[in-house]
Structure 1
């Protein structure tokens, strides 16, 4: 917004110092958000990429960036951060030469919203992801400092309410310019939203060339836009579990563009925890295949299987023994009990739980395929 002509007394308004600090903090926020955006891009571009803040399971920017919580309204959270810091920084810059402390009230409002978002993301990190991102925490700290600085500026102008009323009054006096600024801002955000590449939506390919991904914390394999989605509640160290796994994989091979298979743990087995950890290395389905093949020949060793599928066996072992992996499996077990799953294997379609034979028959019916002959049910 164009500043009014100023006198020396106007330039030295009480809020000028805090606004200068606010502008510098916005530059720091832009640097942090830029690093987060770069990490988000790289972890989705390369499975082997490890950022400098990938320190442990509990402190890991990469695992946070790979989670679905790193996306908000179709864009990475860090990109929204870039937009927010740029907007607040530009507003603060206009206030350095404006009268009456503009726009301290608006900056208090915007930085308050940023702090609210920081609190929400911190709760997600603590309660859902069980992992912390150092750069995210740096961004939250910047947001808190921005809010505190804006609050100081507002108090020098008579308090938050008074500062906000002054800003709204100034915007109303120049409503045409304010409206134009809002239109330009909306157009810029709209262009960014439509043109930003959705690289995180490009599901990678797994065993058999099938697409694989993760949704609501559960790994899936098969069609990107499935006609039928079936959840396999499964475990290890049971003959029927391996058979169910192979049956659905054969069915998937016959209907790769129509069927999606989702995996959920239905037993508290160390191999289930190892498989979940392989998913953190984007090798879930590869390890599942290797484990079931090994079980046919005897006892499966997750470290040996990890080496065969290109996963890091040491990282897998550390992860499998962690509380994070145990909680992930327990979450599946709790969900399974709520759905009526009593033991593996079981299939779920649209919330209804089936035994494997009945479930496979129902999947085949929905796919328009004749039921398999009894002799074809055991797959190798």
Structure 2
């Protein structure tokens, strides 16, 4: 239970005894306890920081939802915290680990903070028995902290990049757990598990609190059922949308053989922006079939194949994926393989030639052999050398009329295509 609204003062008499005086708080404030030199501040000094933390958490996850959406729907978007390869919110948003159970992870974070806020507001009413809700809030904070540790592990080992706003959210979760622990220790008399039981009973017996939580859960299920899956996309079948072939140098092209604009793309199958831009260009080709000739060049940012540009481990496996695509091009199936490789790169699973072969009518053996073939490797290295001569240091990159554009293409070129 909460300590009554009394002011308790300890006055030292000598080294062997103390005198306790209990007097009503004249100001109507929450209790202040003095014991020797230690002090317990009034309840509001602990509750207000919790409320501020929740507001920060809601703002943080709100921006992460916005950033996640823009990353998948806007080809030119870059968040303010995309600073380096290691500190990059966009890299985290673009990874398959940003989706959990069919919803962006940031949405789960937003609803987690809303759940905490609902219970916090009920606990702050300070009605009979409401203090036991702090045991539930401590339990929630503990669960959020464990989830934060796991997500930090995923960022370090799977995504290999950190999001500053995600790190801020982890800090908020740890702080909520700490404040709930402090409040239940200083203002609640019950043991933890007894407090959890009483808090659960209070929650179930409060129609307002239970109804609010049920509305929150219903909203979450509604979003899960109705939110467009903007993070998933499919490429239009190349055989049905435009002509295709090989250039004199052996590079695959798609679109118009004598198009108004010829675009040379230098791409990496493990590059999210490459997937997004390729989807955009393929749609442009489908909508304007007589204007664009898109010529593909491989430029994997894989240290095994491109060590001068990428001296440290990065996008491991992208080079072998490019070799498989080169083999598919020799069999007249480049664009089908190209699309499937981009699709595989979206998932969390490791690269698997057996699964890839089943989806593209190749055997696992021939794809595995292609990824080791020395002549195919030389074809890939030729593409990489050509890109290096052009000064390309990242993907996606585009060469139009001899000019290199890294990351995206200028608006005037896109406007010319869409006229």
Unaligned runs of 5+ in 1: 1-6, 211-238, 251-272, 293-301, 307-315, 341-345, 360-380
Where does residue 192 of structure 1 map in the other structure?
Answer: 223
Give the root-mean-square deviation of aligned CA atoms.
Answer: 4.3
Equivalent residues of 1:18, 1:149 under 8 A apart: yes
Where does residue 201 of structure 1 map in the other structure?
Answer: 232
Where does residue 71 of structure 2 map in the other structure?
Answer: 43
C-alpha offsets along residues 69-105 of structure 1, whole Å, 9 cap, x if unaligned? 1111221111111111122112212222223524211
- Alpha-carbon offset, residue 205 of structure 1: 5.5
Where does residue 66 of structure 1 map in the other structure?
Answer: 94
Structure with larger RCO (C-alpha < 8 A, sep 6+): 1
The answer to whether residue 136 in structure 2 is matched with residue 106 in structure 1 is yes
- Alpha-carbon offset, residue 197 of structure 1: 2.6
Change in CA separation of 1:329 and 1:189 when aligned onto 2, cut-off 3 Å: same
- Alpha-carbon offset, residue 15 of structure 1: 5.2
Equivalent residues of 1:19, 1:150 under 8 A apart: no
Where does residue 57 of structure 1 map in the other structure?
Answer: 85
- TM (norm. structure 2) is 0.53
Higher fraction of helix: 1
The answer to whether residue 261 in structure 2 is matched with residue 275 in structure 1 is no
The answer to whether residue 174 in structure 2 is matched with residue 144 in structure 1 is yes
Equivalent residues of 1:19, 1:95 under 8 A apart: no
Residue of 76, 80, 96 corresponding to 2:124: 96
Where does residue 51 of structure 2 map in the other structure?
Answer: 23
Equivalent residues of 1:44, 1:66 under 8 A apart: yes
Partners of 1:11 and 1:97 in 2: CA distance: 15
* Count of residues paired in the alignment: 267
- Alpha-carbon offset, residue 29 of structure 1: 0.3
Unaligned runs of 5+ in 2: 7-27, 32-41, 242-248, 255-265, 282-293, 324-349, 371-419
The answer to whether residue 357 in structure 2 is matched with residue 325 in structure 1 is no
Where does residue 330 of structure 2 map in the other structure?
Answer: none
Equivalent residues of 2:115, 2:213 under 8 A apart: no
Partners of 1:160 and 1:74 in 2: CA distance: 34
Partners of 2:269 and 2:308 in 1: CA distance: 12
Partners of 2:222 and 2:62 in 1: CA distance: 19
- Alpha-carbon offset, residue 179 of structure 1: 4.5
Q: Which has the larger radius of gyration?
A: 2
Partners of 1:206 and 1:48 in 2: CA distance: 25
The answer to whether residue 174 in structure 2 is matched with residue 168 in structure 1 is no
Change in CA separation of 1:199 and 1:102 when aligned onto 2, cut-off 3 Å: same
The answer to whether residue 297 in structure 2 is matched with residue 291 in structure 1 is yes
